[in-house]
Amino acid sequence: MNATIESNPLLDRLPKHLKQFIKAQDYSDYTPINQAVWRYVMRKNVDYLSQVAHSSYLDGLKKTGIEIDNIPSMYGMNRILTEIGWAAVAVDGFIPPNAFMEFQAYNVLVIASDIRQLEHIEYTPAPDIIHEGAGHAPIIANPEYAEYLRRFGEIGCKAISSSKDYEMYEAIRLLSIVKEAEGTPQATIDAAEKAVEDLQNNMGELSEMAQIRNLHWWTVEYGLIGSVENPKIYGAGLLSSIGESAYCMTQEVKKIPYDISAAYQSFDITKLQPQLYVTPTFAYLNLVLEEFANKMALRTGGLSGIEKLINSAALGTIELSTGLQISGVFTNVIAHEGKPIYIQSTGKTALASREKELVGHGTLTHPEGFGSPIGKLEGINLAIEDMSPKDLSAYDILESKTVKLEFEGGITVEGEIVTGSRNLQGEIILIRFKNCTVTHGETVLFQPEWGVYDMAVGKKVVSAFSGPADVNSFDLITHMPSSTTIKAEHTAERDDLEVLYQQVRMIRTTKDTQAALQIIFESVQQNHSKDWLLSVEIAELLKDRNEPELLDKVVAHLEAQKIKRPEVAHLITGGLELIFENANA
């Protein structure tokens, strides 16, 4: 398959800054061993999860075009996902949390297209196609859950990060890569783990993004549904882990009724989870999400919202009561009696209304920042935005008039009005001055020689959120992850083993009953003594062929492997159980 990105209407509407993360899924990159790993995990999962997963899981596998025997093609999945209003894209490992959630807001499932090594068949901290494709995709077929996922993305991508959140993302991404990579020195893994641990211990107060990532983890990734006494699995991390999906059902894992307190429960991606949350229904997930959203600066605005943006040191947006949206990196706020009375951004800033940049108010007009008073005029109960033409005339707020506007808290704007801009409701949202001076007490905030002064109009800040109001206002293709996934190295021994896996795969696919499995098995014994999965696949074919003599030899070899390699004994046992229990069923 050519490594090209096949688009569709859902993907076409993605903004450019999200498209930068999409990579082509080169299906030819998947080796026969990769296919065998997929098949083993899927056969074990479907066998076990049919008993313990939410009923949507098995239905979803069919509806999303996911097969047990073959790693899914993104393009085949997309043709089927379109029927339920979703799409999928391939990416390289972890992407930034805001971007991940924004994809969800567009009904696009992000799938890390690499696949875990055989050595990490039970679990990998790195996102892979087993986790994303076999974990996330099936549950999306449930309409109620799909809407939760979309809504979560819509709200989550507006969550404000702290300056340390991106450091944590980079540290976790690097850790997941080095732990999954073949032959990584233990010292490198230890250093990456320590970096994550040090950050986890020094994050300070959890940001909105950290909190909503916790909610995402305990629902979308590691969620249980039903009753605490008899829960079912729906979280993708559990659905894609043959080890943890069984472990999570034991008494070792504490089951907690899901509520908003999960936002404050952090997690460690490198360890089995000691506790899990149980939601009674998918609908309840949305109730908790709305409860959390009501606490976000997105909905509360105010002084605290501006302070969150300043602390983030990242691009964000403040929305005023008139609907005017100011997007930039906010660096200062002047407060009076617990309310913001002046806000200041530094660097490129854009003004918008209803997520559309105002004509003439992009970053070219405001390249060095934007500052404006907020609130009411001193001694006047009527805010400027609520004034009628008669009121505006009475206070000389008219074109060509030189005025002195004194705001509550001591901000003064004095200059000649050039023009005003209104929103669709007819409210004034912006007033342009020339020869303008803006002061706060003795401090000069703007002076005439700096050019024209655009003053935002709004009696309060109603919203503050991460990112720009209009995504087209800024070049957001600026920060790509500093690490990339590491591919398995080719060796002569590995290449020879891949050939043997391919031969067995072809025998199964073509239903060839004459092919000499004994020769393949002998080659495994002689040249690849550590490999166990291919012998399990050979045993399965021999059972179907009814060749008991050679089957006994293969099983004896696997039993010996269990003694020599106790760390994979349970995996071998699991594979044999699938063969013999299913045959007896």
Annotated binding site for Fe cation: 131, 136, 221
Residue showing tokens 């993360």: 21
Q: Is-contact 239 233, C-beta < 8 A? A: yes
How far is residue 330's CA from residue 316's CA, in Å, rounded to a whole number?
7
Contact 90, 71 (CB under 8 A): no
CA distance 562 to 334: 68
Burial grade of 198 (CB within 10 A; 0-12, 13-18, 19 or more) = exposed
- How far apart CA 392 and CA 509 sit, in angstroms, is 80
Q: Which residues are annotated as a binding site?
A: 131, 136, 221
Report the b/e string of 389-401 with b at 16+ CB within 10 A: eeeeeeeebeeee
CB 350, CB 427: distance < 8 Å: no
Q: Which run of H or of E encompasses 139?
A: helix 137-140
Cα-based torsion angle of the residue sequence 357, 361, 367, 369 in order, rounded to the nearest 10 degrees: -90
CA 460, distance to chain mean position in Å, is 32
The SS3 of residue 537 is helix
Residue 436 CB contacts under 8 Å (≥ 6 apart), including other chains: 413, 414, 415, 416, 446, 448, 452, 453
| Residue 395, amino acid | Y
CB 572 within 8 A of CB 555: no
Report the distance separating Cα 392 and Cα 193, nearest Å.
62
Retrieve residue 188's tokens: 């490198």
Q: Which residues pair with 320 in a beta bridge?
A: 461
